[in-house]
Structures are given as C-alpha cells and as structure tokens.
C-alpha cells in the first residue's frame, strides 16, 4: 500500500477557459499556465507520482517543452497512472480539496468527481471533491488544489522495484506521452 500527496496553485487570468478536474466551467477568468492550467489534475498527477516515488510533474512535462503548451492535463494524469501501473499498483481512492474564492465548485463537484474517476478508471465513489474559500489567505486571485491518493498492490502482478526518475529512460516517457496525446486529442494534434 502506498500514499501520495500533491499540491498546486494557478493564478486566474481574464478571457481564458477555466478547467478544473478535467471539466470546463463557465467563468470570466481561467487559470493561467503552460498547459490548460488544470490545478486539480496537476496536483493529482503529483500525488500519483509521489506515491511511487517517481518524481514530479515538472520533471516529466517541463514548461520549457513546447509540446505541453495548452495541452489537456488529462495527458499528465494518464502518464502518471501508467507509471503507477508499471510499478504494480492500482488506485484505491483519491481525496481532494480546492481552495478558491470563485466560482463556487458545489454545482460542478459531481461532474468533476465523475471525470476524475473516469481518468483513473475507478468508481466515482472513490473520488472525494471538496472546496473551500481562502479565508484570510489573500489568495483570492488564485486556485489551489490539494490531492491525496491511496494505492494498493495489483493482485496477480509482481511488483516491480520502483525506479527513481533518473532511471526511467526519457524515450519511454516520451513514447507514453506521445501515444496519449494522439489518443486524447487527435483533432488538435492534426491541426498543429
């Protein structure tokens, strides 16, 4: 059994789409970032990688790499999930807390829960989505996400030794990411 924790924050910016937990939410401001700025999926990616001690999102998807510009953050989650599977683990459950002044997350929480569950291929009842406002924190123009995951050993699969990030060949990471990019966003990739 393994536990993983991830945290992220992004600043609100006018006139860009707001994506949280893979769900686009109607709001005048979105979250700025090199990718689609999905603060919840970034924290989830770090939680998954952290649980198997396999580095962090920045090491796999550096902002300096033009391939990740504007990309759907689902690609990050699915790449991390693949690393979890290779290490011989499966996701048991996820819990998350969002901290943001607006918009209210309540009306979107069920949709976010279902989308995150879908990305992780687990039941929606195993995904906690909670939200709070940043009382007294002075972070009204930012969205913050905390995510914790529990992994269990996959039955019938011998657990491979967890490799530190430096030992994962970059071509492997690139190949996984490329295939996910193609499967998730064929139209977008075609236009580039």
Cα separation, 67 vs 121, in Å, equals 25
Q: Which of residues 117-176 bind Mg ion (CB under 5 A)?
A: none
Q: How far is the CB of 42 from Mg ion (least distance, A)?
A: 4
Confirm or reject binding of residue 42 to Mg ion (CB under 5 A).
yes
Cα separation, 184 vs 37, in Å, equals 17
Confirm or reject binding of residue 19 to Mg ion (CB under 5 A).
no
Q: How far is the CB of 152 from Mg ion (least distance, A)?
A: 27
Q: Is 66 left (phi over 0), alpha (psi -120 to 50) or beta?
A: alpha
Number of residue whose CB is nearest Mg ion: 42
Name which of 42 and 115 has its Cβ closer to Mg ion.
42
Q: How far is the CB of 52 from Mg ion (least distance, A)?
A: 20
Confirm or reject binding of residue 8 to Mg ion (CB under 5 A).
yes
Q: Which of residues 80-99 bind Mg ion (CB under 5 A)?
A: none
Residue that is written with structure tokens 């071509």 in the block? 171
Residue that is written with structure tokens 């893979």 in the block? 22
Q: Is 102 left (phi over 0), alpha (psi -120 to 50) or beta?
A: beta
Q: How far is the CB of 34 from Mg ion (least distance, A)?
A: 8
Specify the stretch interacting with Mg ion by CB under 5 A; choose among 34-42, 70-78, 136-144, 146-154. Answer: 34-42
- Provide the total of helices (H) and of strands (E) in the chain, helices listed first: 6, 7
Q: Determine how many CB atoms are found less than 10 A away from the CB of residue 111.
A: 16
Confirm or reject binding of residue 108 to Mg ion (CB under 5 A).
no
Residues that bind Mg ion (CB under 5 A): 8, 42
């Amino acid at each position: 059994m393994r536990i993983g924790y991830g945290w992220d924050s992004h600043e609100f910016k006018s006139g860009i789409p707001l994506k949280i937990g893979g769900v686009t939410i109607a709001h005048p401001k979105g979250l700025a970032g090199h990718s689609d700025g999905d603060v919840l999926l970034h924290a989830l990616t770090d939680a998954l990688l952290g649980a198997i001690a396999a580095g962090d999102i920045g090491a796999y998807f550096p902002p300096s790499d033009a391939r990740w510009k504007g990309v759907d953050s689902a690609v990050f989650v699915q790449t991390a999930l693949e690393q979890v599977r290779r290490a011989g683990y499966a996701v048991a459950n996820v819990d998350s807390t969002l901290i943001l002044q607006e918009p209210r997350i309540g009306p979107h929480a069920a949709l976010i829960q279902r989308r995150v569950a879908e990305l992780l291929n687990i039941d929606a009842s195993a995904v906690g989505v909670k939200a709070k406002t940043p009382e007294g924190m002075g972070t009204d123009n930012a969205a913050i996400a905390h995510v914790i995951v529990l992994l269990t050993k996959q039955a019938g699969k011998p657990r491979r030794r967890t490799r530190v990030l430096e030992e994962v060949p970059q071509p492997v990471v690139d190949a996984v990411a490329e295939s996910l990019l193609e499967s998730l966003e064929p139209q977008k990739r075609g236009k580039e």
